[in-house]
A and B are shown apart, each in its own frame.
Chain A
Amino acid sequence: MRMGRLSFPVTLALGVALALAGSAALAGCGGGGAGGQAAPLVLTTPWKAGEVTKLEMRALDTGAVIGSWELEVAARPGGGGWVLTTRTVSPQGSEVWTVEVGADLLPVSTGLDARDGAGREIAVLKAVYGDGKVVINARSSGKDQPPTTVKLPAPPYFDNEEVVAVLRCLPLADGLKVQLDDIVTRTAAKRRVQATVTGKETVTVPAGTFECWVLEFTGLGQKAWIAAAPPNQLVRYENTAAKVRSVLVEYTPGP
């Protein structure tokens, strides 16, 4: 191969410029996020206070039961919102997440109590949302961690531990594509996730047979099956990265 008459620095500069232009073009294809969407996100809560959803967690490859996953909805003390509790239990330990949200589903506070199989504390976390930021205080292995702050994007944004509940509130329809700004208090991070309705499927689980919308999180390897009919239960959830499939075993509506 023979190079042209361009000098080395010029060739390199041209290459960098081309790469820059390519990246700019790629960025242009990225689209807006939840905050930048043309249509505002319309959320309708399908539950009543007192609702309990119980799922069984199974290994994706063998189907063996590896734990339980329970979701509870309670009215927020003082009214005007909800307390969403997520409890996962396995022989290795348990995690209880409690997310307090307003009527608009914006998070107010989040708490975690994680314990090992013997009931000993692994980590405790408390995150408080307000003034455009969330301040996270945590204790891990008995040691207090320095407080961490995450600046919040423009609303709507959601705590990671309420995202599954938020999926049930979406105006589910064929081809629906939404971007959710997800605040991950566990790692003091935030990310924009895209959920797309990829179709409808009839799914049979221990709790019965449901016609479901299938939602896929782009790039996360996670899928949710949400009942098409109210109260839009979470029927199945798959996390291919964690190799876990959760299926609905019992649903108790609120009184």
Chain B
Amino acid sequence: MAAPGFRLSLVGSAVALVLAAAEYGLLILSVGARARGKGLSWARAGAGALVSFAAGAALFPAAILLVQVPLQTALSRIMMAAVATADQAVLSIPAVLVTGLVQEPAKLLAAGVGAAVAAAGRRSPRAGRDANSAAARALTVGAAAGVGAGFAEAAFVLSVAFAAVGGPGAGGEAGRQALALAVAERASAVLFHLSTTGIVVFAWTLGVGRGVGALGGVSALHGLVDYSTVFIGRGMSVGFVEAAAAVAAAACFGLLVGLVRRASGADGGGRALERAQQAESRR
């Protein structure tokens, strides 16, 4: 059966944009004035955030279409030909885990584009490698790139969801419930994208070694969160799996907020992180 045609809808995109703006706003409110960082003007921080958002929204779908889907198709073909089981919990492992390995670096790349804009005109190339800058970059370019990617994905998913019920308010009680679940699921997905990219950019700013470690960690976590959907209908309800994904997203969000507050706050954490960064740079 051929797949039905698809195009982004205005309503789906608008709801996705509201989700993205609300969650990025929540992050900024959670960390207050620490968002800007030392030595970075509000104008430059804003430009970096906007460029990161746009790059995230553009690079993320491109990475999925040009890298992730062909890779998953190839992996799926290999699993079908090589593994003697019909159990999706086994067959889908490589294809699902690869989502994190493609999507997280794509978002990091988008953040890198924004970082280049935000750092343009900086006096010293080493000036940005401190805990305070790490916190600022995590927010201005990392979280912004993640929220851009989350927005692009949500616009796609919610356009499909709204089309399925014929628009808001239509489709009966079951349709409204399905739509509400889709919006809730995307809210947690956008939060996850925002948080993981913020965490990776934070770590990357403190050193490439930390950055690679964080990228590996969040890529694995991303794959695991996606993998949990395999168990829907196998003793696990959609609600349970989505709740677990929401908990993972909230935990990542909390971790990002904590890192930023500690790094840029007056509690001495920032100095501790700076010492760690200096120790790494000496190695």
Contacts and interface: CB of A to CB of B under 8 A. Distances in A.
Interface of A: 1-3, 8-9, 11-13, 15-16, 19-20, 22-23, 26-27, 29-31, 33-35, 132-133, 148-154, 157, 181-183, 188-192, 194, 218-219, 242
Contacts of A11: 255
B124 interface: no
Contacts of B220: 16
B228 A12 contact: no
Nearest to A9: B213
B87 A19 contact: no
Interface in B104-124: none
A150 B80 contact: yes
A8 B276 CA distance: 11
Interface residues of B, number: 48
B236 A26 contact: yes
B262 A29 contact: no
Contacts, number: 119
Nearest to B91: A190
B221 A15 contact: yes
A113 B220 CA distance: 44
B89 A19 contact: no
A192 B86 contact: yes
A151 B83 CA distance: 6
B235 interface: yes
B137 interface: no
A245 to B, nearest CB: 16
B127 interface: no
A222 B85 CA distance: 23
Interface in B56-78: 76-77
Contact of B255 (A3, A151, A194): A3
Contacts of A8: 199, 202-203, 210, 214, 255, 259
A213 B244 CA distance: 35
B102 interface: no
B233 A194 contact: yes
A181 B83 CA distance: 13
Given A19-B224, A151-B84, A181-B86, A30 B231 contact: yes
Contacts of A13: 217
B156 to A, nearest CB: 19
A150 to B, nearest CB: 5
A150 B255 CA distance: 44
Contacts of A242: 1
A34 B217 CA distance: 35
B98 to A, nearest CB: 16
A223 B162 CA distance: 25
B84 A132 contact: yes
B201 to A, nearest CB: 13
A181 B87 CA distance: 8
A1 B202 CA distance: 17
B84 A27 contact: no
Given A12-B217, A13-B217, A15-B221, A23 B233 contact: no
Given A16-B224, A151-B80, A157 B233 contact: no
A30 B81 CA distance: 23
Given A15-B221, A23-B224, A30-B234, 13 more contacts: A1-B30, A3-B262, A13-B217, A15-B248, A15-B252, A19-B221, A26-B228, A26-B231, A26-B236, A27-B231, A29-B234, A132-B84, A189-B80
B128 to A, nearest CB: 18
Contacts of A30: 87, 89, 231, 234-235
B262 A2 contact: yes
Contacts of A148: 77, 81
Contacts of B228: 22-23, 26
Which 5 residue pairs spanning A and B have beta carbons closest together?
Answer: A3-B258, A29-B235, A219-B233, A181-B86, A190-B86
